[in-house]
Amino acid sequence: MAILSQEEAKRLIDKVLSYSRADEMKVELNGGRTGNIRFARNSVSTAGATNNLTVSVTAVLGKRIGTSDINEFDESSLEKAVRRAEEMARLAPENPEYMPMPGPQTYTSPKAFVETTASMKAPDRAKLAGASIKSIMASQLSGAGFLEDSATFNAIGNSKGLFGYHKSTNANFSLTIRTPDGTGSGYAAGDFNDVAKLKTGALTDIAIQKARASQKAVALEPGKYTVILEPLAAGELIQFMVRAMDARTADEGRSFLSKKGGGTRLGEKLLDERVTIYSDPADSQVPSSPFSGDGYPYEKVIWFDKGVVKNMSYSPYWAKQKGVKPLPEPSGFVMEGGTQSLADMIKGTEKGILVTRFWYTRWLDPQTLLYTGLTRDGTFYIDNGQIKHPIKNFRFNESPVIMLNNLEAIGIPERTRGCLVPPLRIRDFTFSSLSDAV
Amino acid sequence: MKRREFVKLSGMGFGATMLPAGLMAGNRISAEELLNPGPDVAFKKRMADVALNASKSKGATYADVRIGRYLRQYLFTRENKVQNIVNSESYGIGIRVIANGTWGFASTNTMSPESIAECAAMAVDMAKANAEIQREPVVLAPQKGVGEKTWKTPIKKNAFEIPVKEKIDLLMEVNGAALKNGASFVTSNLFFVNEQKYFASTDGSYIDQDVHRMWPTFTVSAVNRQTGRFKSRDALSAPIGMGYEYLSDNPAEKIVIPNGPTVYRYAYNMIEDATAAALQAKEKLSAKSVPAGKYDMLLDPSNLGLTIHESVGHPLELDRVLGYEANLAGTSFATMEKLQSKNFQYGSKIVNLVADKIQPNTMGLVGYDDEGVPCKKWDLVRNGILVNFQATRDQVHLLGETESQGCSFAESWDSVQFQRMPNVSLQPSEGKYSIHDMIKDTEKGIYILGRGSSSIDQQRYNFQFSGQLFYEIKDGKLVGMLDDVAYQSNTQEFWNSCARICDKDDYRLFGTFFDGKGQPGQASAVSHGCPTTRFNGVNVINTGRKI
């Protein structure tokens, strides 16, 4: 059984800890199942399923650390994993930055596990994919999609009495629909803990509509434009900024948060005052694990408050150097939004470009967080509050920091890739060249 | 080790965001266990037969089995500290079947006859369930069974036999050399992989392969606190299909560019490169910001390799051309009609690009692919004209052919095999023509080395690449470093602007361990060879911004 209950996980972790001869020991359990189905050219192409449970043991001898993993659970295998971790610790060089493990912690209880998702089987997936294919074929278009569901748990315990347990489910669906003449392409995606909230039919309709509407796109000159970024596009750029909040890198002078002459930009107003970004494992829409890999609790943390850099993440070692509390980096984020729908935002735009999603976004300069990438699967010109016509795809060269200083409007946040992100209207967004790709 | 931890430790934070999630799969084991030979061939054959027989008895018309044992060792250091040493093993069996004309796949890490038979039944059940929404039955190109075969990467020194201490000492020396020469920070890493792959199929093949790959690399950063600027330079090494012998000093495998860097062929001096990297990272801090415009670009293999990967390797994958990757990586501008026209000018007449899975020292070098097809070399672009794609057994009939090109690969035993690119390389020019000659022949150009930012659209037309080192060329000489350089082009325009290619003495390999593709995502390892090559009149943009 790949998903253990909290009690079973605690018993197993305690048993592994009882074999320890190390100064400190940490035990992590990760288990679960995943299932997927993939289709293309309106027919199933591949499918698969996994089921696994792993125990990971970290032994510490002084400042020497060793880790071993195993996925066999008889007593001798578990003891072997412990001895192996201790042996690796004995062989490892001392880590001068090693920080003692934390003792018991208090964690929140995110509601991330939904039984309906957990019990999904191959015929359920085939049915959902089949319905989407049927709808695409009825529209005489060609579709490629991917559905994946998972039910997982993780648990952590250490020789200092710490214990944490979390289980979650997830269901993702994405699809790209192309017109037979190759001139139109539309995309839609959704992900939820509860598969019942994943409206594959509605997503298929959106992708169909975008594919048709994007046919025979017109070329616009590259340059600076007002854009409306749908949540998928906005979230892709903002996540790079949220992932770069590490205090040590900033203190070392090699981050967008480093200050000229030394120090960091903590406390500075770096973004438009309407930008507030936080992470919260207990958020009802995007719940996530309440503890980090070393057992520190994830709590609600505001990273940007009304545009001001409010927090940076601190590893236990760097926190001690700086005399602050360790603060793990977030795994997801929530950006506060406004009250406008995407349709309202389009209506309120005199001239601009609507972007469905970005593709192949890669860094150019870690100092300015400059990124490049392309628009894809539905890029449209807005004139006088209305979508006028599809346009050819653009390459952008832009930084989320610059972008969030050029903010004109914020819409209602939506869940995308485990985060909550609003659609954004941005002025002077830099498109550097044109692409003929559809 | 979790993917995020790996990315952080390896210093690949910005460049490796597309690493597939399964990359770090495996159980951590002691270093000594990496030398354990693992199960013998007779056992693997017995287990494979259990799977094949169980599949057939459940109704499969075809089945193949991959028993994989994947050994990996990763060493991570930072300045004078060892951050982590990871030895991992992943072992199990993947069973792929065709039943009711549809693929099914299942895998297990429990290597008992009962568990394997159950796994085979699960694969057949999955195929039958999915047959309900299958439109056309799978068509497999015939493949004669090859009987019992073995194949091994021709290495001279097995990296797993080198003591961990020796490897750590090397990395500490690398870091010391960088710091002594002015680096503010340095991370260095060694990656070693041994894939023990056993393949069997109902065609009558039983193939045992032992594949070795490695990658020594580092990142050096220089920080100027006063100006608040920082610059980095990554190693100019190549991930490579060699043993530990790659990490040696051999002057014959070195090319020294006057007023420029030193580059390496099949012997890499990591300490020497780290010393140069520290000096060059400092030099980058005061390099001139490039004026945007058209330049003749001299691209070193350490840079052009990635451009070949993205603008030739990927667009010529038949699954993309057909639309199987449309939902993730996209389709391709290189359509079937363009191939069939037999006159699609992919590049200028001097451009010859080959696919080659039997090229020595490459990351994609194997004897047989993951469908048991013997590997080979073939042309993709000949004298500038598009002449072929890359395909697997279930695709070649769509090309009107009956023989697979051997492009099937799976990241691990628990992932399903599908079409992955072979080594794709640009052929050197005939006659003598060195990088020195090329610099001399260039009036206004930029010489780029190393892998930098890269991005290309979903049909592989519009791309933008950067690099690690940018040297300005004026009137036949390198005159200093440039900064903020990225080149933008369209694949067909770019390859048609190819004006000169150096000779075979300058031919070197670029490679990647982490080419991501598919849903769920899988990584594959591949090399791209080429000599230094000049492309005339390429558009260069200035990427400098302020926040």
**Contact assignment for B545 to A38 by CB distance below 8 Å:** no
List of residues 6+ apart from B47 with CB closer than 8 A: B65, B67, B93, B111, B113, B116
Mean pLDDT score, A404-427: 98
Mean pLDDT score, A85-111: 93
H or E element that contains B194: strand B185-201
Beta carbons within 10 angstroms of residue B185's beta carbon: 22
The pLDDT tens digits for B472-519 are: 999 999 999 999 999 999 999 999 999 999 999 999 999 999 999 999
Report the pLDDT value the prediction gives residue A281, as an integer from 0 to 100: 97
pLDDT over 90 for what percent of chain B?
A: 89
Report the pLDDT value the prediction gives residue A50, as an integer from 0 to 100: 85
Count residue pairs from A and B with Cβ separation < 8 A: 235
Q: At what angle do helices A122-138 and B113-131 cross, to 10 degrees?
A: 20
Report the pLDDT value the prediction gives residue A432, as an integer from 0 to 100: 95
Report the pLDDT value the prediction gives residue A52, as an integer from 0 to 100: 87
DSSP state of A264: B
Report the pLDDT value the prediction gives residue B24, as an integer from 0 to 100: 57
Give the pLDDT band (50/70/90) at residue A237: very high
CB neighbour class for B438 (10 Å; exposed up to 12, middle 13-18, buried from 19): buried
Q: Tell me: pLDDT of A4 over 80.
A: yes
Tokens encoding B182 = 């002015």
List of residues 6+ apart from A208 with CB closer than 8 A: A135, A136, A139, A141, A177, A186
Tokens encoding B361 = 């020292």
Report the pLDDT value the prediction gives residue B11, as an integer from 0 to 100: 63
Q: Tell me: pLDDT of B18 over 50.
A: no
Find chain A residues with C-beta within 8 A of B325's C-beta. 40, 144
Q: Where are the alpha helices (DSSP H) in B246-398?
A: 270-285, 301-308, 318-322, 336-341
A217 phi, psi to nearest 5 deg:
-70, 150
DSSP state of A74: S
CB neighbour class for A205 (10 Å; exposed up to 12, middle 13-18, buried from 19): middle
**Contact assignment for B102 to A37 by CB distance below 8 Å:** no
- Residue A88, min C-alpha distance to chain B (Å): 6
Report the pLDDT value the prediction gives residue B21, as an integer from 0 to 100: 45
- Residue B154, min C-alpha distance to chain A (Å): 30
- Summary mean pLDDT of chain A: 96
Q: Tell me: pLDDT of A20 over 60.
A: yes
Report the pLDDT value the prediction gives residue B547, as an integer from 0 to 100: 81
- Residue A5, min C-alpha distance to chain B (Å): 23
Report the pLDDT value the prediction gives residue B1, as an integer from 0 to 100: 56
Strands (E) located in A179-310:
185-192, 223-229, 277-279, 301-305, 308-309
The pLDDT tens digits for A328-365 are: 999 899 999 999 999 999 999 999 999 999 999 999 99
Give the pLDDT band (50/70/90) at residue B354: very high
3-class secondary-structure state, position A29: strand
The pLDDT tens digits for B136-183 are: 899 999 999 999 999 999 999 999 999 999 999 999 999 999 999 999
**Contact assignment for B457 to A395 by CB distance below 8 Å:** yes
Query: Which residue type sits at A45?
Result: S
Instruction: List, as one string, the DSSP characters of B291-315.
Output: PPEEEEEEE-HHHHHHHHIIIIITT
Would you say B357 and B377 are in contact if contact means Cβ atoms under 8 Å apart?
Answer: yes
**Contact assignment for A434 to B462 by CB distance below 8 Å:** yes
Q: Which of A193, A370, A351, A356 is nearest to A286 (CA)?
A: A193
Residue B130 to residue A46: CA distance in whole angstroms: 9
Q: Tell me: pLDDT of A153 over 50.
A: yes
H or E element that contains B522: strand B522-530
Find chain A residues with C-beta within 8 A of B488's C-beta. 395, 432-433
Q: What's the Cα-to-Cα distance from B385 to each of A208, A342, A370, B34, B346, rounded to whole Å?
A: 36, 46, 37, 46, 6
Half-sphere exposure of A178 (CA within 13 A, CB side): 25
In terms of phi and psi (left: phi > 0; alpha: psi -120 to 50; beta: otherwise), the region of A321 is: alpha
Residue B472 to residue A371: CA distance in whole angstroms: 24
Buried b (16+ CB within 10 A) or exposed e, A234-265: bbbbbbbbbbbbbbbbbbbbbbbbbbeeeebb
**Contact assignment for A258 to B230 by CB distance below 8 Å:** yes
Q: What's the Cα-to-Cα distance from B279 to each of A20, A58, A326, B483, rounded to whole Å?
A: 47, 39, 35, 15
- Residue A190, min C-alpha distance to chain B (Å): 14
Report the pLDDT value the prediction gives residue B25, as an integer from 0 to 100: 66
Give the pLDDT band (50/70/90) at residue B324: very high
The pLDDT tens digits for B90-111 are: 999 999 999 999 999 999 989 9
Task: Tell me the longest C-alpha to C-alpha distance in chain B.
Answer: 74
Residue A288 to residue A9: CA distance in whole angstroms: 19
pLDDT over 90 for what percent of chain A?
A: 95
Q: Which one of B82, B103, B453 has the shortest CB-CB distance to A362?
A: B453
Tokens encoding A242 = 């949220």
Tokens encoding B292 = 């945007």
Mean pLDDT score, A28-49: 93
Give the pLDDT band (50/70/90) at residue B2: low
**Contact assignment for A395 to B230 by CB distance below 8 Å:** no
Report the pLDDT value the prediction gives residue B17, as an integer from 0 to 100: 36
The pLDDT tens digits for A66-77 are: 999 998 899 999
**Contact assignment for A70 to B27 by CB distance below 8 Å:** yes
